[in-house]
Amino acid sequence: MASLIKGPALFLAQFAGDDAPFNSLENITKWAAGLGYKGVQIPTFDARLFDLDKAATSETYCDEIKGICADAGVEITELSTHLQGQLVAVNPAYDTAFDAFAPEALKGKPQARQAWAVDQMLKAAKVSRKLGLDNSVSFTGSLIFPFLYPWPQRPQGLVEEAFAELGRRWTPILDAYEDAGVNIGYEIHPGEDVFDGTTYEMFLDAVGGHTRARINYDPSHFLLQQLNYLEFIDIYHDRICAYHVKDAEFNPTGRQGVYSGYAGWTERAGRFRSLGDGQVDFAGIFSKLAQYNYDSWAVLEWECCLKSPEQGAAEGAPFITNHIIDVTDKAFDDFAGGEVNKEALRKMMGLA
């Protein structure tokens, strides 16, 4: 029996570049297919690969995108709007840093930048439907992440008002995704106000339990927080619509623990690694997802403090393939069973 999980697939964002084969969608999809990938997750914020504005107005362009991927032998798994989603909600402390995610004309103009981000999200809903996609992936943005650690003491009501505002901003966007029949799989990610299960539930409450507010599951961020990422699947499996297959390791020392972000990536206690080089229990994850009938894509997101992206991508496709489970339709002890006989069952219990 074939697995419901589809893959392997590759998130293209970390591989896009100015040199071939990473400089165009045609080249990069052929490269990915040559490594054994069957799907690609397309970033909508990199014009070298995809033009979201053009796709929103041109059916011909959308057909061209589908044709390029089909010719390469890969499917489009989801559109990524991570950077635009980030800009839906930005604390002023991050204005300068996140200006890099916006068009040049919007830098230094936070209100105009947010309006652009919302428009981008709405376009992505329509374009996802044009491309025949049921899921997309994104970020929620953050209004209070600078106040994550409660020192100085947070004023009463700050967290509640932040999530209420996130609800006000995201509900109309989610309604547009409902109209398009597309889910947003939010990546639960430090730096966002939604960074664990508790904050996801707070966000879900703020958007009225919206059916389109789903999860892009990425265990690497959970391992670095020391969150039980397997139990997370038990709790939220009915909301998981996308899966970033990414590895990480956490090696606390006498000098560093979870809060080691000021050190360089190679010196941190928590580090992102290529698949198989870290500590994430992928056998457990794929088993859990198979158990709960996850039927979407397993997408490699490459981030590693040591290994090159080319090597990571080459090793990633067989790694994912070898972890996808062909779910059985038989019980292992069926050979020892017999026909059901109610009289015999009652006799086994000592009943007349």
Q: What is the per-residue pLDDT across 137-169, written as a single tens digit (0 to 9) for each?
A: 999 999 999 999 999 999 999 999 999 999 999
Distance between start and end Cα atoms, the chain:
42
Q: How confident is the model at residue 1 (pLDDT cuts 50, 70, 90)?
A: low
Q: How confident is the model at residue 331 (pLDDT cuts 50, 70, 90)?
A: confident
Mean pLDDT in the chain? Answer: 96
43: left (phi > 0), else alpha (psi -120 to 50), else beta?
Answer: beta
Q: How confident is the model at residue 171 (pLDDT cuts 50, 70, 90)?
A: very high
Q: How confident is the model at residue 327 (pLDDT cuts 50, 70, 90)?
A: confident
Q: Mean pLDDT throughout 288-300?
A: 97
93-146 pLDDT tens trace: 999 999 999 999 999 999 999 999 999 999 999 999 999 999 999 999 999 999
135: left (phi > 0), else alpha (psi -120 to 50), else beta?
Answer: beta
Angle between helices 282-291 and 229-236 (to 10 degrees): 10
The C-alpha atoms of residue 270 and residue 204 are separated, in whole angstroms, by 28
Q: If you count them, how many residues does the chain have?
A: 352
Tokens linked to 101: 């995610």
Q: What are phi and psi of 266, to 5 degrees?
A: -75, -20
Give all domains of the chain, ordered by start, each with its CATH number.
6-348 (3.20.20.150)
| CA 137 to each of CA 7, 121, 221, 286, 302: distance values in angstroms, whole numbers, following the listed order | 16, 11, 16, 20, 16
- For the whole model, what pTM was predicted? 0.95
The C-alpha atoms of residue 85 and residue 191 are separated, in whole angstroms, by 12
Predicted confidence at residue 99, as pLDDT, reads 97
Q: Would you tell me how many other CB atoms lie within 10 Å of the CB of residue 254?
A: 5
Q: How confident is the model at residue 336 (pLDDT cuts 50, 70, 90)?
A: low
